[in-house]
């Protein structure tokens, strides 16, 4: 049987730009795996309440990220005695981490351009 070459991973730039919700979810997963409700809490806390997602919005975004190979649902769980069995845990894939990093760079470039055009704060040297 002929050997198959492994399929190369897509270019992270091909996923950009991310939606704001997708990026927020990925930021919540950057430190490590968490369950859906913890993602909701993290987003609300990090944005000082400016972004508050409904569960349906969150889980639709997670489903798209899983389908795209950027996030995976984990089979592993913390100690069942310390956890609710209904919780589903998620983590960034290696591709997801690279896509989130590429989106971070893209946004940083946009902010640098805005600053250089005196739209916000002091212009940064280029």
Q: What CATH number has the domain bearing residue 50?
A: 1.10.10.10
Residue 122: predicted pLDDT: 63
- Domain holding 32, by residue range, is 17-78+86-116
Q: 43 in a domain, yes or no?
A: yes
Report if residue 11 sits inside a domain: no
In a domain, 124, yes or no: no
Nearest by Cα to 68 from 4, 12, 2: 12
Residue 7 lies in a domain: no
pLDDT at site 6: 78
How far is Cα 92 from Cα 25, in angstroms, rounded to an integer? Answer: 10
Within-domain flag for 104: yes
* Residue 125 domain flag: no
Domain count, the chain: 1
* Locus of tokens 């795209």: 68
Report if residue 100 sits inside a domain.
Answer: yes
Query: 26, 18 in Cβ contact below 8 A?
Result: yes
* Residue 6 falls inside a structural domain: no
**What pLDDT tens digit does each residue of the chain (126 aa) get?**
667 887 888 999 999 999 999 999 999 999 999 999 999 999 999 999 999 999 999 999 999 999 999 999 998 776 666 667 778 999 999 999 999 999 999 999 999 999 999 997 665 565
Edge-to-edge strand list for the sheet holding 34-35: 34-35, 89-92, 71-74
């Amino acid at each position: 049987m002929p050997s198959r070459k492994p399929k190369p991973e897509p270019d992270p730039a091909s996923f950009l730009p991310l939606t704001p919700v997708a990026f927020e979810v990925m930021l919540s997963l950057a430190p490590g795996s968490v369950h859906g409700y913890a993602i909701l809490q993290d987003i609300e806390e990090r944005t000082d309440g400016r972004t508050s997602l409904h569960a349906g919005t969150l889980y639709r975004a997670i489903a798209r990220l899983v389908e795209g190979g950027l996030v995976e649902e984990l089979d592993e769980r913390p100690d069942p005695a310390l956890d609710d069995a209904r919780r589903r845990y998620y983590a960034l894939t290696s591709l997801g981490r690279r896509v989130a990093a590429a989106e971070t760079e893209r946004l940083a470039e946009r902010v640098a351009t805005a600053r250089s055009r005196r739209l916000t704060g002091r212009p940064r040297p280029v």
